[in-house]
Amino acid sequence: MVRRTASLLTAAVCITAARWLLIPTTFAALSRKFGHQVARARNPPKRQSVALRSYAGYENRFPAPAKKFEQELIATAKAIAAPGKGILASDESNPTAGKRFADIGVENSEENRRKYRELLFTTPGLNKHISGAILFEETLYQSTADGKQFVDLLKEQGIVPGIKVDSGLRCIPGTDGEQYCTGLDKLPERCREYYKQGARFAKWRAVLSISKDGKPTDVAIQHTAFGLAAYAAIAQSEGLAPFVEPEILMDGDHDIVLAQRVHEEVWAEVYRQLEVHGVMLEGTLLKPSMITPGVQGPTAQPAEIAQVTIEGLRRRVPAAVPGIMFLSGGQSEEEATVQLNLMNQVEGRPWSVSFSYGRALQASVLKVWQGNDKNKEAAQKMLLALSDANGQANLGKYDTSKDHPSNTGSLFVENYAY
């Protein structure tokens, strides 16, 4: 009798399950039947784009940091990733600016830093190939000699002003010199003020290194990914489109195979954390290093570097990201241009592949300027020529048969810090 009852109960359960599986039923119908709200039947927030409804905010458990500034963030990222254009990274800290000035015999004073940035931003025709400029906090509040604020000067040219928001690097306890990036404390308040001042995107630089004996460690990768994602969410919540910059240094004797494995691992974890934090990818940009062997390692041909870098990005970076804005990473000005040009000749690039160069756009400019006002025009012509070369490289149309405008060699600095 007991067995018969059990069999009847089992049969009843199976019949009921089959009924629900075979009869088309909507979530709304189920809600009416059982008298409660089915979780996924909730109306998602109204947005202009249906495709964007799933990235965040669909349910309470999914954060939506970009919700308030969604369309503005998308527009900012698209403007920066415009064809034939890239970023002028002029966000060197005051100590780093001092090192650059020392090479040309110029005093590292606030006025000299202001004067030099004015030279950069007043270059005639700069907006032809420059879509955005990253500023240091001091520069964000500075003005030209005749009183026009730099942010207004840039905006009038259609160049988007951005701001470096990280506070530098600290050692991860118990590691062999690996570092994490600081600056999350009071970042919302700072981003809010930067937005009021006119900044529309932000940059946060995390740094990793490669070694054959295990760097980067898991803890270093986790620090990098979590820090970048937390920063990006905060930046979007305050209206700043975040540049996500997981720089992997060229230092070391590793080959390009290990470099590719590490880059892909780091990028994968970064984008996993961005998803966890609800960051809207359409309102972000990635600023990675190119996949190269270590400077003391086996050499790789430029075409191989280009192929491997694009291949790695295809495997790890979603097509929703509007632009990949490479850092030069210590390559010479000419190498950075040639490498960018080759990457834009590799098929299968769903994002704009462009530049966010500091040293690779300024080394020759500083060399021409020498702190002398008489050299201002010549220095600006150099900046324009370098911008033009890289703008053409973004289109894959840089003419390698012509001489590159630069006059400097390798820009590699061991354990480079801003």
What are the pLDDT digits (tens) for 30-48?
343 334 343 333 444 444 5
Q: Which of these is catalytic: 245, 247, 334, 335?
A: 245
Residues 6+ apart with CB under 8 A from 287: 203, 243, 244, 245, 247, 325, 326, 327, 356
Q: Which two tokens stand for residue 283?
A: 């309102």
Q: Is the pLDDT of residue 226 over 90?
A: yes
Please state the domain extents for the chain. Answer: 2-41, 67-394
Let me know if domain 67-394 sits in CATH 3.50.50.60: no
pLDDT tens, residue by residue, 381-393 = 999 999 999 999 9
Per-residue confidence (pLDDT) for residue 57, from 0 to 100: 55
State the distance between the two ends of the chain, measured CA to CA, in whole angstroms: 81
pTM of the model: 0.84
245 is catalytic: yes
Query: Do 93 and 203 touch, CB atoms closer than 8 A?
Result: no
pLDDT, one tens digit per residue, over 307-361 is 999 999 999 999 999 999 999 988 999 999 999 999 999 999 999 999 999 999 9
Q: Of 60-64, 182-186, 207-211, where does mean pLDDT reach its minimum? A: 60-64
Q: What is the pLDDT of residues 73-97, one digit of tens each?
A: 999 999 999 999 999 999 999 999 9
Backbone angles phi, psi at 38, to 5 degrees: -80, 135
How distant is the alpha carbon of residue 391 from its chain centre?
18
DSSP code, position 158: T
Specify whether 333 is catalytic. Answer: no
Is residue 372 within 8 Å of 379, Cβ to Cβ?
no
Residue 145 has pLDDT above 50, yes or no: yes
Phi, psi angles (nearest 5°) of residue 113: -65, -40
pLDDT of residue 15: 45
Residue 330's pLDDT is what?
Answer: 83
Instruction: Provide the total of helices (H) and of strands (E) in the chain, helices listed first.
Output: 14, 10
Question: At a CB cut-off of 8 Å and minimum separation 6, what does 83 contact?
Answer: 352, 394, 395
Query: Left (φ > 0), alpha (ψ -120 to 50) or beta: where does 309 sit?
Result: alpha
pLDDT at 27: 36
Q: What is the mean pLDDT of residues 162-177?
A: 95
Question: Among 92, 287, 334, 335, which one carries the catalytic annotation?
Answer: 287
